[in-house]
DNA sequence: TTGATATTGACATTCATTTTCAATAAGAGC
DNA sequence: GCTCTTATTGAAAATGAATGTCAATATCAA
């Protein structure tokens, strides 16, 4: 469900970065690949590690800078958990909401149209005109319910 | 709507801190008063400033430590905005959700029962068993809609 | 009033992120 | 391809938020 093809996604991102006037470098490519292919929010350090940045001589700073660019182009977003607000995940094309597994972290977007209609009503009760909303669900994914947790690779 | 009486609230908190075995000190009292009487989420530094801590010789560290205690007793909670995850606001008695004004910050709790029922359904679609949810609404409060923004005092 | 000790503020430390800067590599134009 | 401008890089230093250390002090139970 909403699985993305790794190569095509990071390829698409490269194009968008190029079009925005940014250069495609080897460090960037490695970082893009990891973020694009991972089905869960990652911290900068996790991205650094998974990209093999250490051994490839890539600096953690470059991870931060690449995230910055991707965020600017709305290709990734920061995900806020309860105790952790610095993970990064690829954006959904449209405005959507996240559903996150509390055990393995695997995440999906959903639109939530069925509830969004009600937000304005709730606001109205308090005299507010709602302009933003933030909805995130968490629980156990199918795999993790089977007590067969996905690897946190 | 859900306005709290300042004195009785910080008084109540003092009792709870006492009962939990913590001592009531002057610095703590000043910090408690500010958090209890302010109708919007505050950063530790804002609390420090509003409490006149600087001039009273109270350290910022004490603000952090007091927040820690209040959080432990579920009297305050951290509020996450889009770009800001370190503000603190008094808790609602029950599990509720926040409605925050984007202009002046004034905040209210609402229960959201009308939407919560649907969260499980959404999860089910993806095979998830929902255990947590996070809903927060933001917009312009009545005052700020009148272009008469409340003071951020 | 007394005494054990929780709490305090100053200071040092950690940890995440940002800034600075000289060296390097990307890629547009030829 | 080659050249040249300059965006990008990694190392190192700087910042900012939060936490730990510690001796002095204030709280509050007895
Ligand atoms: Mn939405
Ligand atoms: Mn709820
Ligand atoms: Zn899972
Ligand atoms: Zn957050």
- Do B106 and B79 meet the contact criterion of CB atoms below 8 Å apart? no
Identify the CA nearest to A91 among candidates A113, A114, A107: A107
Residue A84: its pLDDT value, please?
Answer: 82
Tell me the pairing of strands B129-140 and B97-101.
parallel
Nearest to B47 by CA among B19, B93, B78, B72: B78
Residue B31 has pLDDT above 60, yes or no: yes
Higher pLDDT, A51 or B3: A51
Q: How far, in Å, CA of A33 to CA of B126, rounded? A: 25
What pLDDT was estimated at residue A113?
93
Cα(A80) to centroid(ligand 2), Å = 16
Q: What is the CA radius of gyration of chain A?
A: 17
Q: What is the pLDDT of residues A65-86, one digit of tens each?
A: 999 999 999 999 999 887 788 9
In DSSP terms, B133 is beta-bridged to A137
Place of tokens 């009503």: A121
Q: Given B102, B122, B141, which is nearest A112 (Cβ)?
A: B122
Asked if residue B1 has pLDDT above 60, the reply is no
Of A136, A145, A151, the C-alpha closest to A78 is A136
**How confident is the model over B96-124, as pLDDT tens digits?**
999 999 999 999 999 999 999 899 999 99
Arithmetic mean of pLDDT over chain B:
91
In the beta sheet, which residues pair with residue B88?
Answer: B42, B78
> pLDDT tens, A85-142?
899 999 998 899 999 999 999 999 999 999 998 999 999 999 999 999 999 999 999 9
Closest CA to B24 of B40, B36, B35, B11: B11
Binding residues of A, as ranges, are 95, 101, 104, 116, 133, 141, 144
The pLDDT-based confidence of B149 (bands split at 50, 70, 90) is low
Q: How many Å separate Cα A55 from the centre of its chain? A: 25
Write down the pLDDT at residue B22: 98
Does any strand C atom come closer than 7 Å to the Cβ of A16?
A: no
pLDDT of residue A16: 97
CA distance B62 to B48: 9
Q: Which of B41-45, B82-86, B143-147 has the highest mean pLDDT?
A: B41-45
**Domain annotation for chain A: domains and CATH numbers:** 1-91 (1.10.10.10), 94-153 (3.30.1490.190)
pLDDT for the residue numbered A5: 45
Give the 3-state secondary structure of residue B48. Answer: helix
């Amino acid at each position: 469900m909403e699985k993305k093809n790794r190569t095509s996604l990071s390829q698409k991102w490269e194009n968008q970065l190029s079009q925005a006037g940014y250069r495609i470098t080897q460090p960037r490519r490695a970082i893009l690949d990891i973020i694009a292919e991972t089905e869960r929010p990652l911290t900068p350090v996790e991205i650094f590690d998974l990209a093999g940045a250490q051994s490839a001589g890539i600096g953690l700073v470059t991870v931060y800078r690449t995230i910055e660019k991707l965020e600017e182009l709305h290709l990734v977003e920061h995900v806020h958990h309860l105790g952790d607000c610095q993970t990064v995940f690829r954006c959904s094309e449209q405005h959507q909401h996240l559903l996150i597994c509390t055990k393995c972290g695997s995440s999906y977007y959903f639109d939530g149209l069925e509830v969004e209609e009600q937000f304005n009503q709730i606001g109205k009760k308090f005299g507010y005109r709602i302009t933003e909303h933030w909805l995130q669900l968490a629980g156990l994914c199918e795999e993790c319910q089977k007590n067969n947790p996905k690897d946190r690779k």
